[in-house]
């Protein structure tokens, strides 16, 4: 499948990734694409699907339950949470350092 995509796809962006276009909900695609994908099992390939911009053939890699993140989404969320936690630690350390170095005397 990947070889065919690289050789024949007019979509150079997905062709460079072996045809992978990522994860999406069936509600995010045209009814024709959703119908074609509903009828196949993971690993299966759809029939030719007509679209306004040409014709498409899809290979279904996997199905995910709605609401459950994919591995990629979970990894991105974990990385973001870890980065935020590290940023918070650096900020708190910096504020503590400033409190030790700076003396402010307020008199009324």
Provide the pLDDT confidence category of residue 80 given band limits of 50, 70 and 90. Answer: very high
DSSP state of 96: H
**pLDDT at residue 76, rounded to an integer:** 92
Rounded to an integer, the average pLDDT of 55-70 is 83
The DSSP bridge pattern shows strands 49-51 and 54-56 to be: antiparallel
**pLDDT at residue 39, rounded to an integer:** 82
- What are the CA-CA distances from residue 95 to residues 82, 87, 98, 101, 103 (Å)? 20, 12, 5, 10, 13
How far apart are the C-alpha atoms of 13 and 11, rounded to whole Å? 6
* Cβ-based neighbour number of residue 19 at 10 Å: 19
Q: Evaluate if residue 86 carries a pLDDT over 80.
A: yes
Rounded to an integer, the average pLDDT of 13-34 is 84
How far apart are the C-alpha atoms of 76 and 81, rounded to whole Å? 9
How far apart are the C-alpha atoms of 80 and 2, rounded to whole Å? 31
Each domain of the chain, given as residue ranges in start order, spans 2-56, 69-108
**pLDDT at residue 51, rounded to an integer:** 84
Q: Where are the beta strands (DSSP E) in 37-93?
A: 49-51, 54-56
Rounded to an integer, the average pLDDT of 53-78 is 85
**pLDDT at residue 14, rounded to an integer:** 78
Average pLDDT of the chain to the nearest whole number: 86
- 64 with 52: CB under 8 angstroms? no
Q: Evaluate if residue 25 carries a pLDDT over 90.
A: no
**pLDDT at residue 42, rounded to an integer:** 92
N-to-C CA span, the chain:
77
Q: Evaluate if residue 78 carries a pLDDT over 80.
A: yes
């Amino acid at each position: 499948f990947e070889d065919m995509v690289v050789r024949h796809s007019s979509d150079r962006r997905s062709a460079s990734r072996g045809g992978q276009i990522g994860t999406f909900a069936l509600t995010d695609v045209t009814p024709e694409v959703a119908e074609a994908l509903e009828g196949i099992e993971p690993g299966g390939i759809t029939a030719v699907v007509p679209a306004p911009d040409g014709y498409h053939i899809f290979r279904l890699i996997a199905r995910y339950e709605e609401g459950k993140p994919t591995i990629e989404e979970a990894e991105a969320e974990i990385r973001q949470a870890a980065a935020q936690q590290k940023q918070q630690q650096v900020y708190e350390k910096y504020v503590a350092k400033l409190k030790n170095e700076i003396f402010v005397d307020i008199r009324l």
